[in-house]
């Protein structure tokens, strides 16, 4: 277990689960944050990828333990935007690592899509660029020179 | 052959270049082609594209770890602190081979003719000491060397040769907004980008992953670590990485004899040269001039005008997002810009401000980007019961205009040496003092409203004007002004420092005004113009000696 993961005992994970579900509840056929595993497997993965999130996340969660999650989350957002930012990035980052979530939102990742030259090019289709050209030049020329078109 | 030398050469080269970003690369390659012996000192290393994670699920999560733009956040050994506590905008940069081009959006904008003549045309600031027409041949040359895609004939510019590759596709969102602009009678044009749309030299064709700003994993973005530096090194340039210059060394005759630099192990070395070129960006260059003060030039090297470090310009940046019913595929494409608009670029006094801004139409990113407070705004926070509905509204169905606003030169906006903070080599850090002007605020407000109208005309059912954030200072300009009057400028029209005839500055520090464009095209063209002149002068000197 890495040092970053060692910091996240069941108490902190429970605190994370509680606030994570307020950020991303279930609905519209989508799982909640905890159902998607953001306090379990995907927290481990987020911290493996972003060990720099470990210390600030631990500090945020320690402030949440034993409090009403809703009240504590509202207070965090208003008093510690940076801490809230780390919490939100961990929750959403973990959520979107889950392949089931990615599939459900039809997000396949940043795909490799070759540029296939069109004939005519898309900027020429439907008279798109011809309209711009017809409106003529819009720049102010260098003093002493005329517009050359 | 390894492109990195471990230690400096024993010989005294013709030219020493400090900084391996855009202008340093242009100078190095051209000088090598001209038969000059060149050494370049670069404080960072080569980018590690193994960390470019575009094809992997963790891409959005890890991009901010390995490709952060803010040196204060990144804090790798190549970085030096920039105290921005007295600045409205945070300075962004990449310290390493390739410089800012490693993480730039590759939006390749020439300046317009009026950008060089703002005093003559608008009665403000200063004219540049040359015109668009003077620079145009150099734009054409660097666009071919660099690998730029786009389309000649843009109605916002004089005619002439365009980039060597066809433009990136407009895509669904580009076509929509282009049609809307035609309906409005507003300018648009296919976006010019330093992105290969076909195989070009060392560049692969773009695969439209929209990850240009966080390390191009495809080798399609034309950053100078991929384009210029391998060629320069093959032609004999010695590029030393991990070599941080502490100060320039000045001889008793007032000429620069070279630089004192520190390697990553903390060892100091001297690199001599006949001529020195600074290419360290609008913060690094004045920092180094101020660090190189001598008893004869106690206020900083080359600073008899008092302008070293002053007139810092960083381009206030705005974003307006539109939400559409249709799937626009807007996590894909070049990022980069699909189209640009210069409809409101020129001054119109009736608007209540001078100068203008360029707009670039961009993708909006993957799902994690949809949760961020920029550009969406705290008031539109996605969290809570509406999370899934909001995500579906944004992801793939949004497009955004990025707005680059011209800021005017003011001497109170400046770079100074930090009296306390030092980098990890013990060298005083930079401090920036920058306040956004009333002209900039009015300009931005006007452009945001017009950009909103643009997206609404394209069918957006909702628009969001992004909140102002500080972390947008990609463009660092103006802090070693170029001009024809030595009492009011640091360098002459060819980049030569008036007070030190064998010292040149080729980066964006020399800009008299900032224009409202992404600056790399003009930085590169001005560097090429300057280095051509330097070569001609030195050849004359050799011939006459």
CB contacts, 8 Å: A137 with chain B: 155-156
Number of A–B residue contacts, CB under 8 Å: 176
Record the tokens describing residue B321, joined without a space. 């997002």
**B35, B15 contact by CB (below 8 A):** no
- Distance to chain B for A44, nearest Cα, Å: 13
In this structure, is residue B57 part of a structural domain?
no
- Distance to chain B for A9, nearest Cα, Å: 23
Instruction: Please give the Cα distance from A17 to A19 (Å, whole number).
Output: 6
CA-nearest residue of chain A to B342?
A138
Instruction: Please give the Cα distance from B14 to B302 (Å, whole number).
Output: 21
Q: What is the pLDDT of residues B273-285, one digit of tens each?
A: 999 999 999 999 9
Q: Which of B207, B384, B396 sits opposite A113 (nearest CB)?
A: B207
- Write down the pLDDT at residue B2: 39
Q: Which helix (H) or strand (E) is B389 found in, with range?
A: helix B387-394
- Write down the pLDDT at residue B10: 77
CA-nearest residue of chain B to A88?
B371
In this structure, is residue B56 part of a structural domain?
no
pLDDT at B1 over 50: no
Q: Which of A46, A139, A143 sits opposite B157 (nearest CB)?
A: A139
Residue B93: CB atoms within 10 A of its CB come to 24
Q: Which residues pair with B322 in a beta bridge?
A: B399, B463
Q: In this complex, do B366 and A109 lie within 8 Å of one another by their Cβ atoms?
A: yes
Q: What is the pLDDT of residues B386-442, one digit of tens each?
A: 999 999 999 999 999 999 999 999 999 999 999 999 999 999 999 999 999 999 999
Q: In this complex, do A97 and B178 lie within 8 Å of one another by their Cβ atoms?
A: no
* Tokens 């060298």 -> residue: B427
Looking at residues B455-478, what average pLDDT do you find?
A: 96
- Distance to chain A for B505, nearest Cα, Å: 26
- Distance to chain B for A10, nearest Cα, Å: 24
Residue B11: pLDDT band (50, 70, 90) is confident
Cβ-in-10-Å burial (0-12, 13-18, 19+) of B167 comes to: buried
In this structure, is residue B3 part of a structural domain?
no
Record the tokens describing residue B455, joined without a space. 């997206």
More confident residue, B261 or B379: B261
Distances (CA, A) of B175 to B92, B171, B343, B399, B460: 32, 6, 17, 12, 14
- Write down the pLDDT at residue B324: 98
CB contacts, 8 Å: B56 with chain A: 109
Given the DSSP bridges, would you call strands B462-465 and B268-272 parallel, antiparallel or unpaired? unpaired
- Write down the pLDDT at residue A6: 63
In this structure, is residue B453 part of a structural domain?
yes
In this structure, is residue B54 part of a structural domain?
no
Contacts of A72 (CB under 8 A, 6+ apart): A19, A63, A64
Residue B283: CB atoms within 10 A of its CB come to 26
ipTM of the complex: 0.95
Give the mutation candidate from A142, A147, A148 for the B interface (greatest B CB count, under 10 A).
A142
The alpha carbon torsion through B481, B483, B485, B490 (nearest 10 deg) reads 30
The dihedral through the CA atoms of A84, A86, A88, A91 has a sign that is negative
Closest CA to B106 of B399, B519, B401, B451: B519
- Distance to chain A for B209, nearest Cα, Å: 5
- Write down the pLDDT at residue A46: 97
* Residues in chain A, overall count: 149
Q: In this complex, do B175 and A125 lie within 8 Å of one another by their Cβ atoms?
A: yes
User: Which residues constitute the domain of residue B438?
Assistant: 15-49+65-544
Q: Which helix (H) or strand (E) is B542 found in, with range?
A: helix B520-544
For chain B, the domain total comes to: 1
Looking at residues B54-58, what average pLDDT do you find?
A: 94
The dihedral through the CA atoms of A138, A140, A146, A148 has a sign that is negative
- Distance to chain A for B156, nearest Cα, Å: 5
More confident residue, A51 or B6: A51
Q: Which residues pair with B340 in a beta bridge?
A: B189, B360
- Under the phi-then-psi rule, with left for phi > 0, alpha for psi from -120 to 50, and beta for the rest, what region is B336? left
Q: Phi and psi of B257, rounded to 5°?
A: -100, -10
**CA end-to-end distance (rounded Å), chain A:** 69
Distances (CA, A) of A5 to A14, A17, A43, A83: 14, 16, 9, 18
Q: In this complex, do B159 and A122 lie within 8 Å of one another by their Cβ atoms?
A: no
Closest CA to B518 of B314, B215, B217: B314
- Write down the pLDDT at residue A41: 96
**B191, B339 contact by CB (below 8 A):** yes
Distances (CA, A) of B143 to B232, B389, B486: 17, 44, 32
- Write down the pLDDT at residue B517: 98
- Write down the pLDDT at residue B9: 72
Looking at residues B256-274, what average pLDDT do you find?
A: 97
CB contacts, 8 Å: B210 with chain A: 110
- Distance to chain A for B493, nearest Cα, Å: 18
In this structure, is residue B7 part of a structural domain?
no
Q: Which residues pair with B268 in a beta bridge?
A: B262
CB contacts, 8 Å: A149 with chain B: 155, 158-159
In this structure, is residue B2 part of a structural domain?
no
Q: In what order do the strands lie in the sheet with B244-250?
A: B244-250, B256-262, B268-272
Q: Phi and psi of B497, rounded to 5°?
A: -70, 125
- Write down the pLDDT at residue B540: 76
Alpha helices in B15-107 (DSSP H): 22-33, 59-66, 71-74
Q: In this complex, do B367 and A107 lie within 8 Å of one another by their Cβ atoms?
A: yes
Residue B352: which CATH number? 3.50.50.60
Q: Which of B65, B121, B207 sits opposite A52 (nearest CB)?
A: B65
CA-nearest residue of chain B to A147?
B158
Q: What is the pLDDT of residues B34-51, one digit of tens each?
A: 999 999 999 999 999 999
Instruction: Please give the Cα distance from B171 to B339 (Å, whole number).
Output: 10
Q: Which residues pair with B401 in a beta bridge?
A: B320, B361
In this structure, is residue B58 part of a structural domain?
no
- pLDDT means per 10 residues, chain A with 149 residues, are 68 96 97 98 96 95 93 95 97 98 97 91 96 97 87
Q: Which of B187, B367, B385 sits opposite A138 (nearest CB)?
A: B187
Instruction: Please give the Cα distance from B413 to B436 (Å, whole number).
Output: 9
The dihedral through the CA atoms of B203, B204, B208, B211 has a sign that is negative
CB contacts, 8 Å: A107 with chain B: 331, 366-367, 395-396
Q: Which of B54, B153, B155 sits opposite A135 (nearest CB)?
A: B155
Q: In this complex, do B113 and A128 lie within 8 Å of one another by their Cβ atoms?
A: no
Residue A64: CB atoms within 10 A of its CB come to 21
Looking at residues B290-305, what average pLDDT do you find?
A: 97
**A109, B59 contact by CB (below 8 A):** yes
CB contacts, 8 Å: B187 with chain A: 132, 135, 138
- Write down the pLDDT at residue B3: 41
């Amino acid at each position: 277990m890495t040092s970053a993961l060692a910091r996240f005992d069941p108490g902190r994970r429970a605190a994370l689960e509680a606030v994570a579900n307020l950020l991303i509840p279930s609905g519209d056929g989508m799982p909640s944050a905890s159902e998607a595993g953001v306090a379990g497997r995907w927290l481990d993965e987020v911290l493996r990828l972003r060990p720099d999130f470990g210390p600030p996340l631990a500090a945020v969660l320690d402030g949440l333990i034993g409090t009403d999650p809703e009240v504590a989350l509202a207070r965090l957002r208003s008093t510690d935007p940076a801490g809230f930012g780390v919490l939100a990035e961990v929750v959403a980052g973990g959520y979107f690592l889950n392949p089931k979530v990615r599939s459900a939102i039809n997000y396949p990742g940043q795909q490799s899509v070759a540029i296939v030259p069109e004939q005519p090019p898309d900027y020429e289709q439907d008279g798109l660029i011809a309209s711009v050209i017809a409106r003529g030049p819009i720049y102010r020329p260098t003093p002493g020179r005329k517009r050359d078109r | 052959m390894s492109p990195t030398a471990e230690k400096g050469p024993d010989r005294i080269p013709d030219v020493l270049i400090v900084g391996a970003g855009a202008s340093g690369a242009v100078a190095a390659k051209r000088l090598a082609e001209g038969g000059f012996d060149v050494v370049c000192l670069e404080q960072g290393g080569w980018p590690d594209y193994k960390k470019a994670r575009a094809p992997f699920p963790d891409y959005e999560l890890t991009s901010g770890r390995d490709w952060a733009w803010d040196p204060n956040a990144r804090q790798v050994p190549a970085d030096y602190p920039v105290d921005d506590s007295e600045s409205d905008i945070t300075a962004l940069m990449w310290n390493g081979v390739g410089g800012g081009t490693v993480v730039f959006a590759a939006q390749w904008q020439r300046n317009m003719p009026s950008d060089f003549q703002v005093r003559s045309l608008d009665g403000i600031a200063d004219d540049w000491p040359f015109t668009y027409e003077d620079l145009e041949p150099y734009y054409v040359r660097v666009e071919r060397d660099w690998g730029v895609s786009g389309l000649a004939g843009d109605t916002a510019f004089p005619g002439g040769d365009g980039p060597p590759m066809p433009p990136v596709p407009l895509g669904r969102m580009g076509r929509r907004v282009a049609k809307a602009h035609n309906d409005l009678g507003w300018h648009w044009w296919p976006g010019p980008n330093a992105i290969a749309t076909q195989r070009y030299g060392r560049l692969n064709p773009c695969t439209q992953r929209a990850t240009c700003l966080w390390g191009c994993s495809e080798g399609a973005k034309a950053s100078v670590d991929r384009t210029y530096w391998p060629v320069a090194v093959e032609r004999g340039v010695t590029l030393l990485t991990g070599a941080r210059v502490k100060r320039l060394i000045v001889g008793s005759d007032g000429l620069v004899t070279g630089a004192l630099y520190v390697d990553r192990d903390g060892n100091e070395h001297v690199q001599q040269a006949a001529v020195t070129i600074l290419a360290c960006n609008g913060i690094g260059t004045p920092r180094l001039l101020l660090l190189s003060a001598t008893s004869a030039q106690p206020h900083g090297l080359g600073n008899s005008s008092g302008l070293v470090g002053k007139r810092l310009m960083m381009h206030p940046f705005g974003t307006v997002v539109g939400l559409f019913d249709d799937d626009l595929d807007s996590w894909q494409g070049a990022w980069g810009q699909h189209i640009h608009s210069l409809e409101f670029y020129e001054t119109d006094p009736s608007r209540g401000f001078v100068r203008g801004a360029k707009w670039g139409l961009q993708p909006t990113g993957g799902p994690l980007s949809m949760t961020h407070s920029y550009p969406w705004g705290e008031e539109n926070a996605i969290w809570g019961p509406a999370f899934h509905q909001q995500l579906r509204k944004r992801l793939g169905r949004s497009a955004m205009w990025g707005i680059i606003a011209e800021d005017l030169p003011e001497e109170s906006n400046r770079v100074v040496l930090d009296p306390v903070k030092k980098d990890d080599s013990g060298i005083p850090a930079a401090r920036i003092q920058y306040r956004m002007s009333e002209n900039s605020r009015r300009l931005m407000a006007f452009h945001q409203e017009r950009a909103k109208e643009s997206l609404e005309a394209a069918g957006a059912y909702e628009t969001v004007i992004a909140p102002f954030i500080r972390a947008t200072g990609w463009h660092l300009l103006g802090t070693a002004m170029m001009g024809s009057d030595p009492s009011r400028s640091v360098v002459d029209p060819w980049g030569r420092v008036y007070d030190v005839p064998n010292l040149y500055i080729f980066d964006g520090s020399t800009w008299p005004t900032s224009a409202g464009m992404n600056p790399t095209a003009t930085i590169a063209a001005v560097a090429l113009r300057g280095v051509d002149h330097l070569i001609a002068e030195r050849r004359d000197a050799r011939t006459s000696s």
